[in-house]
Chain A
């Protein structure tokens, strides 16, 4: 039972355009969501997070949107840059039931073409 799904294994966009990465979850107890970026041969690095009390969080070019009723979140990157080419993972946690567990999606490989 995969509780966090990233249905698009890959995404290709042109430099300067918007990149939208999607993530769906099934566990209604999840109330914290994080996005990580991973370059080849490196560990993941934290990008942005959102808690369920919000529906949007913005940090520079990165914005995460949360739709609780649809159990869906998305990461928007505007404008996209070639250096954004990486694998993006969404992760979810349920703070009230199991604060130590993190559940990750499969990842989406983003390619930004110059």
Chain B
């Protein structure tokens, strides 16, 4: 089944404890992206990658890191999480290298930072 998977789906952590949210797609897609969804703020793009080893900042990259060492994986790293990073996170991928073709989203990761 073609899909985007994220792990973990739920995570409660404490301030300053490094964490990684994994994202993997099995559709051989070129483009991948991370978003966060907060009440009243819609979806905001954190980082995106148009190809392996190519990443760039979205609108809210502060406090996050990403890497794209292989096509299928695009992990989101929070080196020192803070409470304002409590949010619902979505990973997405697209067949083309750009954002404006259909993106396929993962099921989301709900992160709580205490």
Interface set of A (CB-CB < 8 Å, partner B): 4, 6, 32, 34, 36, 41-46, 49, 89, 91, 93, 95, 99-107
Q: Report chain A residues within 8 Å CB of B45.
A: 101-104
CB of A84 to closest CB in B, whole Å: 18
Nearest residue in A to B39 (C-beta to C-beta)? A106
A93 to B92, CA, bound (A): 15
Chain B residues with a Cβ closer than 8 Å to the other chain, count: 29
* Interface residues of A, dominant DSSP: strand
Q: Contact check, B99 vs A102: say whether CB atoms are below 8 A apart.
A: yes
- Whole-angstrom CA separation of A100 from B108 in the bound complex: 21
Selected from B31, B40, B43, the residue in CB contact (under 8 A) with A44 is B43
Which residues of the other chain, B, contact A4 by a CB distance below 8 angstroms? 42
Q: How far is the CA of A88 from the CA of B92 in the complex (A)?
A: 17
Nearest-CB residue, chain B, relative to A33: B100
Instruction: Decide: B90 and A100 in contact? CB cutoff 8 A.
Output: no
